[in-house]
Structure 1
Amino acid sequence: MKRKTTLVLALFLPLQIIIIKILSNHPLFIEIWYSNFLYPKISGIMRVSLGILPFSLGDLLYAFLVILLIRWIIIRIKERFRNPKKWLIEAFASLSIIYLCFNLFWGYNYYRLPLHRSLEIDNEYTTERLIILTKQFIERSNEIHSELAENDSLKITIPYITSEIFERTIEGYESVSEEFPELAYRGESLKSSIYSMPLSYMGFNGYLNPLTNEAQVNTLIVPYKIPTTASHELGHQLGFAKENEANFIACLVTMNHPDPYFRYSGFTFALRYCLNELHRRDKAVSEELIATLNPGILANYREVEEFWMAHKNPFEPIFQIIYNRYLIANNQSEGLKSYSYVVALLVNYFEEEENRF
């Protein structure tokens, strides 16, 4: 009976892949029946039940799975990989279960409608419109920086401990939920990752554990970056699986936050995206606009770059390549380059300045 069940599970893996391929061509179906119906129920239950734990169950689960994998490899080596039919079926059965949980608990969100269609905004823009928005973001960033710093040359340091930043992150979602009901957040499950050190050397700010729906933040990063990182991971938790869309949501939440430190983090985060895209399109104009930034903002940018440079290592590009392939495999055809979509969302959403600032 056990052998038959294992075989059925193994055969279910290719069937799942076929189902995913079919569903990927029907984003409206995913949007209605999974992202807006089934997933909120699954996510809500997991957040409420696991959010009460003072530690990350998902991090421990990953450690357990790695230990099981190492044990499996050792056993196969000791057996000299004899009886491959048996252990291959067992391996595919295990992968089938993990793949099912990944998609059912979260992964189907990769195939929902693009965010610009949900918001009913365009996803194209001109360089001229980008320049206008970049100037507006510079003005707001300079204003908030001047409110928080004693002079324009000082970098901003967030005066909150991690737990306070997490609490204020939740408040940010509460402040935008009236305009965006889909961003209503209930059942807190936002945690520091016990793998913050490895994440730093891998080049990651945080991640959402798709098997436990816990939002994990690398709390070793520059504190000034934690508000947007935490907001980004909660965006994933609410079902916005694509990185570019979660980044846009992080911008919305922090830029509209009642706390000025969060607004500073949000506006400078969005501004960095715009400046990078403008530099790609018109280097001279981008450099001209950068010169109008308060030096303290540039100091914050350098602080972040110095953190990642301090953790640079020969293996980081490998992790980035693996993650890039993961994005491509999950309906983000441009991989890491798809992050530029954030700029398109920002430009079109903030086009009507008087209604957005």
Structure 2
Amino acid sequence: MTLFQSLELGKHTLNNRIVMAPMTRSRTTQPGNIPNKMMAEYYAQRASAGLIITEATQISPQGQGYSFTPGIHTPEHIEGWRLVTDAVHREGGKIFLQLWHVGRMSHASFHGGEAPVAPSALNPDAKVWVADDEGVGSMVDCPTPRALLWEEIAQIVTDYRKAAINAMEAGFDGVEIHAANGYLLDQFLRSTSNVRQDVYGGNIENRARLLIEVATVIANAIGSERVGVRLAPFITARGMNCPQIIDAILYSAGKLAEIGVAYLHLSEADWDDAPTVSLQFREALRDIYPGKIIVAGQYNQEKAEAILSRGLADLVAFGRPFIANPDFPKRIQHRWPLAELDATTLFGGDRKGYSDYPAYCEE
């Protein structure tokens, strides 16, 4: 089976083509959003994936949009994440840190009562998970953001660079730039969320400028072979239904190819009536981008094998199946049954519904 063949990714050899997709779980230690031993246990249990991509991790306080999500901008964050990388490496796994700035997908409670920032002052018509003083969370409406000043954007680029360097200090094998699913870099890419009149808005080249600047400074800082980028060509929620997004993503893919990033990770639409990703798009992406391609979005083993065998992807990411099945690769390899997750424990809490799911026992 192609899924269980090894693969060279940058300077790393992955044991299989199965990726654990990034999933927000909100289990950090408070105050400070510090990664902890419980998170190290959780990721180490899932180290049989060829590659783990961590939950999205804010590059700065400004980048936070959900309660209890981890950061990578303080010495305490680096120390906490080192617990995770050491645990995963002891189990023979590879792990990349996903770098995140949420932009307008946030709430004033994370910013001292001030509005979140975005390319433009447009409301996303979306909700984020915010916990109260007792640690009980709920989904709340995002406020209308304020538009970033031109001079503030340079600081965000610097924050991304520093976060990538911090990730290397914490022992990660690489980083993934989150430019998908309606977060800041994705907001800049799309005409529906970016109506700026400066060099970061207007045509596709300008709207892609921030993503390319971020990818460039990170590649220069840690090596392009340690960098991946997540993109979302067919996501339409959160005000993301941009008629030019396919052209913008293909343009960006060409620029990312010039930088030499190790992979592109496609977050494909995963709801029941979502549009099908066209063969035309997949072939166009292959023509433009020569690196590795990861796909994610309701794949099962059969669908995964099919897209790998056709050469349209190199790895397949699985999200929710990894939550209740820490030994997910073995389960699908041996056709063992999959456990069901407890959806009430997805965000916040303790080991219950997080690191207490057992591996499969044939007895």
Fold conserved between structures, TM > 0.5? no
TM-score class, shorter: under 0.3
Q: TM-score, normalised by structure 1?
A: 0.25
Which has more strand, going by share of residues?
A: 2
Which has more helix, going by share of residues?
A: 1
Q: TM-score, normalised by structure 2?
A: 0.25
Q: Which has the higher contact order (CA 8 A, sep 6+)?
A: 1
Between structure 1 and structure 2, the one with the greater Rg is: 1
